[in-house]
Amino acid sequence: MSAFSIIARDPASRARAGLLQTAHGEVRTPAFIPLASSASVRGLGPGEVEALGYDIVLGNAFHLFLRPGGELIAQLGGLHRFMGWGRAIITDSGGFQVFSMGHGTIADEIKGRRGGLRSGAILSIEEEGVRFRSYIDGAERFIGPETSMQVQAQLGSDIVLAFDECTPFNVDRDYTARSTERTHRWLERCQRWRAQHDSAGEALAAGAQPRTAGRDGSLFYGIVQGGVYEDLRVQSVGAVLASGCDGVAIGGSLGQDKEQMYEVVDWGVRELEASAADRPRHLLGIGEVDDLIRCVELGIDSFDCAMPTRLARHGVALVPDPSNRWRLELDRPRWRASNELLLEGCPCPACKGGLSRGYLHYLARGGELTGARLLTLHNLTFIAGLVGDLRSAVIDGRLGQATAALRAGAAPGG
């Protein structure tokens, strides 16, 4: 029986609503996945995240591999117990962190800026894996497909992502093709590791607590690469599906602007719709409001992104204002004496508690932790409402009306 079931489809697009069964409960799709990269949704307790309506969070195997280490987390009962989260966890494999050490953010790389983890650096990307300097202490470290699978098994992930190379935008087609082929070979090695360790009670590493991989109910997602080249994307979808994975993630460079990104996503989903319509589709690192709306229409089932929590830490609230990218910058002087709420009818603690934009401006300008917490709760409430509206609209057969209203500035949950 498939772990993913589609319960409704939109006849005018590829959008669908579904249920993904994991070892720690159901995930309702379309789903937005908040980041708990270092075993914490920053500023919030696990109960608060669950109360907002989220079924799943994302932990980052790369960061947790470096600190505190997969062995320690396994000894303490796995990532669910370690962070006090009882629902599903998906773990990123480390491929994007390799990219960020070399190129910074996606925007940095596209615009030719040098960014990344300043005290960490890639030493080499080879067939065996990646050698790098840790951003924590500068020590030389190695991560490859087997390392990533071992760490994710130690964490006890419900959804394991294959180790891949996140191909940059500013490279030629030949490099992208060679990198994508290597990602496919790494995918095979990930699968071999899981098959070899799919037995009860086998120790994963010296000193680690015994646990299983595969038979523990974890799902495995391959990652589609191929840059901005349609034929490479099509080939990559074929390679990922041939691996027999439980789900498919779309990653790598998606282009230099939104129009190109939607085109690249469309190539991948089109192939998946034709060949494996029953498998869940995850879009890595994407979560802007307009991107969620459009990519649900394109047929994506789940998303992860730092956007709502990162904006909150910088004093930015999400509001129904498409003309300003759904953003309200509270540190602007115009809000200093404002008695307005962030959003009328919003059930988050800031809005429900009657806190004014003037007060939140004061907290944001002062760098108060209370402000970051309140805005994090507000932004995650906004995104939960948005994705919930999209899901309900697919089920009720009114997605076209719902997306038109949201793009025109309707508030989620209205």
State pLDDT tens for residues 348-387: 999 999 999 999 999 999 999 999 999 999 999 999 999 9
Residue 251 lies in a domain: yes
List the single range of 16-30, 121-135, 372-386 with lowest mean pLDDT: 121-135
Do both 207 and 225 map to the same domain? yes
Q: For 146-189, what is each residue's pLDDT tens digit?
A: 999 999 999 999 999 999 998 888 889 999 999 999 999 999 99
If DSSP codes are grouped into helix, strand and coil, which group holds residue 387?
A: helix
Do both 257 and 350 map to the same domain? no
The residue among 305, 334, 353 that closes a domain is 305
Does residue 102 carry a pLDDT above 70? no
pLDDT at 107: 52
Do both 268 and 330 map to the same domain? no
Do both 244 and 173 map to the same domain? yes
Q: How confident is the model at residue 118 (pLDDT cuts 50, 70, 90)?
A: very low
Do both 294 and 399 map to the same domain? no
The answer to whether the CB of 150 falls within 8 A of the CB of 205 is yes
d(CA 48, CA 42): 11
**Position 257, amino acid:** D
Do both 299 and 175 map to the same domain? yes
Do both 200 and 65 map to the same domain? yes
The residue among 305, 338, 364 that closes a domain is 305
Q: State the residue range of the domain holding 61.
A: 4-305
Do both 270 and 356 map to the same domain? no
The phi, psi pair for 193, rounded to 5°, reads -60, -45
91 DSSP β-pair partners: 59, 160
Do both 115 and 34 map to the same domain? yes
pLDDT at 199: 44
The mean pLDDT of the chain is 92
Positions marked active-site = 92, 304
Domain of 201, CATH number, reads: 3.20.20.105
The phi, psi pair for 250, rounded to 5°, reads -105, 125
Residue 413 lies in a domain: no
Do both 244 and 386 map to the same domain? no
If DSSP codes are grouped into helix, strand and coil, which group holds residue 327?
A: strand
Give DSSP secondary structure letters for 240-254: HHHTT-SEEEE-S--
Instruction: Please tell me the total count of domains within the chain.
Output: 2
Instruction: Tell which residue, 8, 10, 9, has the closest CA to residue 400.
Output: 10
The residue among 243, 270, 305 that closes a domain is 305
Do both 210 and 352 map to the same domain? no
Specify the residue for token string 């960490």. Answer: 120
Do both 20 and 78 map to the same domain? yes
